[in-house]
Chains A and B, each alone.
Chain A
Amino acid sequence: MKSKLVTTFLALAALLSISASVFAHHGNAAYDNKTMTVKGTVTAWVWTNPHSFLKFDAKDDKGNVVHWLGEWNAPSTLINFGITAKSFKPGEEVTVTMRGMAKSGEPIGRVEKVILPDGQELSMGNER
């Protein structure tokens, strides 16, 4: 299993001044304004309401596997930005940029964009 896990863990945390993004259902209060990019392997793409989420594994700088979770918008919104229920497959290596990380310190963030193995970038552009 370890061989399937990813490889590189890029934690590029940067404090950015961004406006609160809008997830219309539950709210933003549990997230900060940090940005982080992580390279990992998809374990599940959960296409559900009120929000979708991408599960992926990555190793930290000590070699420990971290189970990441990237929360994204509802399917009814994502579908208009070229992101579908079939956009991610388990086992794929992806690079996930999250803007807004869990204040609790858990490996959870809000997805801003994902780069697929073929280099294709999936995002909502300037909208969230």
Chain B
Amino acid sequence: MLNRFVAATIIFAGMAYAPATRAQNPPQRESGKNIHREGWDRIVPPQQQTGAPAPVRDLSGIWEPIPGYRDGVFATGPRGYPADGKPEHELPFTPLGLKTWHEHKPGFGTTAVPIAENNDPFDICDPIGFPRIELFNLRAIEFFQNKNQVAIIYQNDQVFRNIWMDGRQLPKIDDLPEPRWYGYSVGKWVDDYTFVVETIGLDERTWIDNVGRPHSDQLKVTETWHRVNHDVLELTLTIDDPKMYTKPWNALDKFKMGLQPEWFDIREQVCAVSEELDYTKTVAKPVDAAKKK
């Protein structure tokens, strides 16, 4: 009888601790191989494919680009329109849009310049802003939602956005109190699995992407978040700025993100001014110094 009690106790204890054990797999360092880890250094399992249906009107959870966590880096511009010189990726610039783009000096793309000539605002740790937060280094994100709003937190630059769904309407752009780095956002469910967000009032100092595509105060961004099933979320992001572009364009078109385990800790990835200054002093300026004789 006593043995049965002991055995039952051991089994119960094992069951109680099983989730924690699964989440705390031991470190296995093997350099040269890409073994994805979350912020607490735990190995992230392969993307789950349960095939389960999506919950209704629910985006909550932690998401990362799939198939690989680095697929949202978009160093040379967003997936839909990289700055690679291909005709199909030429954007419909207005004359002002083209002129403004050429005034921007990015580190990547067809207009890339050496580091010392770069005037990328994010390279001096200005807020990355919206929509660039989704068009450059789109890493892990987490959705929180209640009846009034959806909030998104982003790994990159440790920022958050609020999307209101309490019935308020977007004002006219000219009626906004001030521009904001991340704008003013209103969202609505257009069906049980599709959440559409419109954002205006974006600060003109930000770039749209990592290759310096510009925007004006008239920019309106539309995000369509479509939950395909339990495991997969798709993002389509549309840029509409009549001052800079002759027609709207999709920077992302059904870009896929995968649901991560509940224990996934979003890594800290901030732009620290002191680190940026150290990088500039130690690397950027010397690397661009005049060639020695």
Q: Interface on A for B, CB 8 Å cutoff?
A: 22-31, 46, 48-51, 53, 69, 71, 74-77, 79-84, 102-106, 108, 113, 120-125, 127
Q: Given A29-B112, A82-B29, A104-B290, decide whether A49 and B107 contact each other with a Cβ distance below 8 A.
A: no
B275 at the interface (CB under 8 A from A): yes
Closest to B35 in A: A80
- Inter-chain contacts of B137 with A (CB < 8 A): 24
Q: How many A-B residue pairs have CB under 8 A?
A: 131
Contact of B31 among A27, A74, A82 (CB under 8 A): A82
Interface residues, chain B, with chain A CB atoms under 8 Å away: 29-37, 41, 69-70, 73, 75-76, 106-108, 112-116, 118, 120, 122-123, 136-137, 139, 155, 210, 267, 269-272, 275-276, 278-279, 282-284, 286-292
Evaluate contact between B287 and A53: CB separation under 8 angstroms: no
> Do the beta carbons of A27 and B115 come within 8 Å of each other?
yes
Contact B32 A79 (CB under 8 A): no
Write the nearest CB–CB distance from A12 to chain B, whole angstroms. 20
Whole-angstrom CA separation of A51 from B70 in the bound complex: 15
- Taking a contact as CB atoms under 8 Å apart, the answer to whether B275 and A69 are in contact is no
A to B CB contacts below 8 Å, 23 in the list: A22-B75, A23-B75, A24-B73, A26-B107, A27-B106, A28-B112, A29-B113, A29-B115, A30-B116, A30-B287, A49-B272, A50-B271, A50-B279, A71-B287, A76-B269, A80-B35, A80-B36, A81-B31, A81-B34, A82-B32, A120-B31, A122-B32, A125-B32
B118 contacts A102, C-beta separation under 8 Å: no
Query: Which B residues lie within 8 Å of A31 (CB)?
Result: 287
Mostly, the A contact residues are: loop
Query: Could you say which of B114, B116, B290 has the most chain A C-beta atoms within 10 Å of its C-beta?
Result: B114
B283 touches A77 (CB 8 A): no
Measured CB to CB, the closest approach of chain A to B57, in angstroms, equals: 32
Q: A53-B283, A76-B267 known; 12 other A-B pairs, CB under 8 Å?
A: A24-B137, A26-B123, A27-B112, A49-B269, A49-B270, A49-B272, A79-B267, A80-B37, A80-B69, A81-B31, A82-B35, A121-B31
Chain A nearest CB from B257 CB (Å) reads 17
Taking the closest CB of chain A, its distance from the CB of B12, in whole angstroms, is 36
**Chain B residues closer than 8 Å to A74, beta-carbon distance:** 269
**Docked-complex contact B107 and A106, CB < 8 angstroms:** no
Give Cα A30 to B284, complex, Å: 9
CB distance from B35 to the nearest CB of A (A): 6
B280 to chain A, nearest CB (A): 9
Would A53 and B115 count as touching, CB distance under 8 A?
A: no
Residues of A within 8 A of B70 (CB): 77
- By beta carbon, the residue of chain B nearest A103 is B291
CA distance A33 to B290 in the complex (A): 18
Q: How distant is B122 from chain A, measured CB to nearest CB, in Å?
A: 8
CA distance A80 to B33 in the complex (A): 8
